[in-house]
Amino acid sequence: MQEPVVFFDVDTQVDFMRPTGNLYVNGAEEIIPNLKTLIDFARAHRIPVISSADAHPPDDPSFAEWPPHCVVGTPGQLRIPETSFPSSIIIANRRRRFHTPHEWVGQLIVEKQEYDATTNVNFDTILLSLGERRFVVFGVATEYCIRSTALGLRKHRKKVDLVTDAIKEIRPEDGRKAIEEMAAAGVRLVKTSDVCAPGH
């Protein structure tokens, strides 16, 4: 029997993905074709997609370390078209009653202010609702939000696949170290072609 999966699209927002973005991850546009392949595959096969999104207030304390980015309501906070669904459910990082969907399909956007998407206060409820699934992780940036989210999922005892040709790092050496750390924590390294292979 095929193992149920959920795709986890990390922070593929304009401010990170586009050269004009406020916190552009150098070379991020190179992975967009693979991101599109993954999202198209998810939609065609009715695989649920959780998309994390930085959602910062204008005076976010993290702006002491980073340029202001992904400020709520700005164009830079939006997802790129290749990872956007026509409609999605947005889960803000404030406690709310989470209703389990009748069927887990489509896109759920989980907003966050930390690197780790599992810090959203509703995340445990979402995990419980999803049931046992393997998480297929991709997006940006490898040594920050990808690393933190993948390790956060492993702390929740979830199976995690990292799509290594659909992620991008800020600094190559830091990216390599982060991948090694994730692999040591039990994250399985895969490619887009593995994920989208017939019968996967």
57-86 confidence digits (pLDDT tens): 999 999 999 999 999 999 999 999 999 998
pLDDT for 91-100, tens place per residue? 989 887 777 7
Say yes or no to pLDDT of 101 above 90: no
Flag whether 164 is in a domain: yes
The residues, ordered by sequence, that sit 6+ positions from 167 with a Cβ below 8 Å of its Cβ are 31, 137, 138, 139, 140, 142, 146, 175
Flag whether 94 is in a domain: yes
Flag whether 59 is in a domain: yes
Q: What's the rounded Cα separation, in Å, for the pair 160 and 99?
A: 25
Flag whether 200 is in a domain: no
Total domains, the chain: 1
The model's pTM is 0.94
Flag whether 92 is in a domain: yes
CATH of the domain at 129: 3.40.50.850
The residues, ordered by sequence, that sit 6+ positions from 86 with a Cβ below 8 Å of its Cβ are none
Flag whether 72 is in a domain: yes
Mean predicted confidence (pLDDT) in 130-142 = 95
Say yes or no to pLDDT of 199 above 70: no
Binned at pLDDT 50, 70 and 90, residue 1 comes out as: very low
Binned at pLDDT 50, 70 and 90, residue 200 comes out as: low
The pair phi, psi for residue 157, each rounded to 5°, is 65, 35
Residue 181, pLDDT score: 98
Flag whether 132 is in a domain: yes
| Host domain of residue 95 | 5-195
